[in-house]
């Protein structure tokens, strides 16, 4: 059969000669058949194993009939909120409704519900009482055990309980979803699928568990005791490695447990290559053309995924819980084949927008030990100092980039997914940075120091300021040799746990000395399953159980953000309030070290409006 999108209607099923799907995948995103979308990977992978898979994208959650348009699947429903947690997708850090949704046709907001996974599953259960329901994707993965929910400001139970689903396939899901499918195909009841790595299931007792397990504090305990919550979270954090993790058990109520099996093993390079060689259409479904397409596709259509996983270990990032710390890579051949395919797209203009992943310049595990024994428990590869066993190597990435640049029709290969500057600094060879400056950026290099106060950086799990300062000097030296005038654009974060107003002002002074106003400033966003979110909720660093100051009031967070962008006229009042409240009136005036003048200066346009 000619390559095509998977069925989204009975008519599509009929064209394929199907009377019933094996699996129906329900997604909170519009249907985009591209390997950057989790739904596309899982459905194409199942298809490659001979299963008949249909897709219901963004069903009308107010109408239970919308969930039944493809009929009852033979083996089960697969449910995902989409590429983002639905609450992050819908709300800003200030809990204001966003104005658009990049994963919906035309960028239209409101085509998926809040807590989408739960709503979709409850909708299924209204019509299909006993059909197996398997949930996955980022929302289910990061809410797999009891967790703090920023939007309701409560500790919520495992999403498995509130959704009524049967099993969670957490993490990236390729290994676990195939095992689940094979078990269902073999006639095993979904409630008996308790042995698959990378899954979470419900149990009435623990008698069936023969392997060693760790029982976490119960839901009732962590819901009313923040110290127990912090300890429970850190136990989970220490059990995210596929090689060393234990089974985790959490009691929800009498005769109700949630059991988390250890993570699935990382994909081998051959498995990664196979996943990315599946017959994706590399486009959104034609039904969206009249609606303006799906904006998220334009961001990644001409980008290449070269790796997964990250050993960077930033506290505010959930990658440790989702993709793990062991870096997995595709072969050069796989990536180059995709790039060549990309050049035949009529919309390709000669520019590859990115070659990377969570961290672009990670093209191998942190050390050889990780390949057989996993990542070290309780230790980080880069923080507080790079591990002595860390293998720092850019030769493979350099070779890959050179091959991509040599492809006919490719004019430029950009790197936009970010590089770890501390990793670069451990490489004494200038070759990678020189080639980066000469060939892979356009005037600006974006890096993420996040802050410049070592007190805050230690909570973030980021290197000290001296490392970043050294990187900037090296970058300038290499750029001067290339004869190019290129700059560094630092990503900065306000209101992270550990940042008092003192540290916020310190960051503002650093921005002053840089001589420009950052356009992009990220307020810390407490998303599920990060160390930083645990600090935000409990006021404790779960790694040490030390108390951590955390900005929680909206007004203080507004002041911390305004300080970083102190030059913006609309931020004047907040900046002045912050400076006066913290005895820093020395920064108010007309001197070279001052942030703002003594009084707000009206712009000409404001003056004209006032006179009118």
What is the model's pLDDT at position 517? 80
Per the DSSP assignment, residues forming a β-bridge with 351 are 412
256 occurs within a structural domain: no
Report H helices in 347-450: 370-373, 395-405, 421-425, 431-435
The CA distance from 234 to 542, in Å, is: 6
Query: In the chain, count of helices (H) and strands (E)?
Result: 24, 24
Reduce the DSSP state of residue 432 to 3 states and report it: helix
**For residue 189, what is the domain's CATH number?**
3.40.50
147 occurs within a structural domain: yes
269 occurs within a structural domain: no
Per the DSSP assignment, residues forming a β-bridge with 78 are 25, 134
Which regions of the chain are under pLDDT 50? 604-612
The CA distance from 134 to 140, in Å, is: 10
The CA distance from 515 to 80, in Å, is: 44
429 occurs within a structural domain: no
Contacts of 283 (CB under 8 A, 6+ apart): 32, 33, 34, 297, 301
DSSP of 289-317? GGGT--HHHHHHTTEEE-EE------TT-
pTM of the predicted model, to two decimals?
Answer: 0.94
Please tell me the number of Cα atoms within 13 Å of 308 on its side-chain side: 23
What is the model's pLDDT at position 608? 45
73 occurs within a structural domain: yes
600 occurs within a structural domain: no
Strands 32-33 and 283-284: antiparallel
Domain extent, residue 77, equals 10-202
Is residue 208 within 8 Å of residue 194, measured between CB atoms?
yes
What is the model's pLDDT at position 610? 45
Reduce the DSSP state of residue 568 to 3 states and report it: coil
The CA distance from 581 to 578, in Å, is: 5
505 occurs within a structural domain: no
27 occurs within a structural domain: yes
Q: How many CB atoms sit inside 10 A of residue 192's CB? A: 10
Element containing residue 181 per DSSP (H, E): helix 174-185
Nearest to 210 by CA among 246, 237, 242, 236: 246
How many domains, the chain? Answer: 1
Burial 540-559 (b: 16+ CB within 10 A, else e): bbbbeeeebbbbeeeebbbb
Element containing residue 77 per DSSP (H, E): strand 76-80
């Amino acid at each position: 059969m000619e390559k095509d999108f998977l069925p989204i209607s009975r008519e599509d099923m009929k064209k394929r000669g199907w009377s019933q799907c094996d699996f129906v995948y329900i997604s909170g995103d519009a249907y985009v058949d591209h390997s950057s979308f989790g739904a596309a990977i899982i459905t194409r992978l199942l298809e490659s194993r001979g299963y008949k898979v249909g897709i219901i994208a963004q069903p009308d959650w107010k109408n239970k009939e919308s969930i039944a348009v493809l009929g009852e699947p033979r083996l089960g429903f697969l449910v995902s909120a989409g590429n983002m947690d639905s609450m992050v997708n819908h709300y800003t850090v200030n809990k204001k409704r966003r104005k658009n949704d990049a994963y919906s046709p035309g960028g239209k907001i409101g085509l998926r519900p809040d807590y989408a996974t739960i709503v979709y599953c409850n909708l299924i259960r209204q019509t299909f009482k006993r059909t197996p329901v398997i949930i996955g994707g980022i929302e289910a993965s990061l809410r797999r055990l009891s967790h703090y929910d920023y939007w309701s400001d409560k500790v919520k139970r495992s999403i498995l309980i509130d959704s009524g689903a049967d099993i969670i396939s957490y993490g990236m899901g390729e290994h676990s979803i195939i095992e689940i499918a094979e078990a269902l195909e073999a006639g095993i009841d979904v409630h008996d699928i308790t042995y698959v790595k990378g899954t979470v299931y419900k149990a009435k007792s623990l008698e069936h568990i023969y392997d060693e397990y760790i029982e976490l504090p119960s839901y009732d305990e962590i819901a009313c005791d923040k110290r127990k919550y912090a300890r429970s979270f850190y136990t989970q954090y220490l059990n995210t490695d596929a090689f060393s993790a234990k089974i985790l058990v959490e009691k929800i109520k009498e005769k109700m447990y949630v059991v988390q099996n250890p993570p699935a093993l990382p994909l081998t390079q051959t498995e990664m290559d196979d996943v990315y060689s599946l017959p994706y259409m590399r486009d959104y479904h034609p039904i969206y053309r009249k609606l303006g397409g799906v904006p998220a596709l334009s961001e990644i259509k001409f980008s290449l995924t070269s790796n997964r996983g990250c050993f960077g270990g930033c506290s505010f990032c959930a990658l440790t819980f989702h993709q793990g710390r062991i870096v997995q890579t595709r072969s050069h051949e796989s990536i180059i084949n995709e790039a060549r395919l990309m050049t035949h797209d009529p919309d390709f203009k000669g520019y590859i927008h990115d070659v990377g992943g969570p961290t672009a310049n990670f093209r191998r595990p942190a050390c050889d030990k990780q390949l057989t024994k996993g990542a070290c428990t309780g230790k980080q590869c880069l923080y507080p100092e790079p591990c002595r066993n860390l293998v720092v190597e850019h030769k493979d990435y350099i070779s890959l980039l050179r091959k991509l640049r040599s492809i006919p029709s490719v004019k430029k290969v950009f790197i936009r997914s970010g590089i770890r500057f501390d990793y670069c600094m451990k490489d004494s060879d200038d070759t990678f940075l020189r080639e980066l400056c000469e060939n892979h950026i356009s005037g600006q290099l974006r890096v993420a120091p996040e802050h410049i106060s070592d007190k805050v950086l230690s909570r973030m799990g980021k290197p000290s300021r001296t490392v970043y300062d050294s990187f900037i000097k090296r970058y300038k030296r290499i750029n001067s040799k290339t004869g190019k005038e290129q700059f560094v654009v630092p990503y900065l974060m306000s209101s992270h746990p550990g940042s008092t107003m003192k540290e916020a002002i310190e960051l503002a002074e650093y921005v002053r000395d840089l001589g420009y106003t950052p356009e992009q400033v990220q307020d810390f966003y407490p998303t599920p399953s990060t160390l930083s979110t645990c600090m935000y909720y409990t006021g404790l660093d779960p790694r040490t159980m030390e108390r951590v100051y955390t900005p929680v009031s909206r007004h203080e967070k507004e002041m911390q953000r305004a300080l970083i962008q102190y030059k913006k006229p609309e931020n004047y009042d907040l900046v002045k309030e912050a400076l006066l409240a913290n005895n820093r009136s020395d920064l108010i005036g007309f001197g070279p070290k001052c942030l703002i003048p003594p009084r707000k200066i009206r712009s000409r346009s404001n003056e004209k409006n006032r006179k009118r």
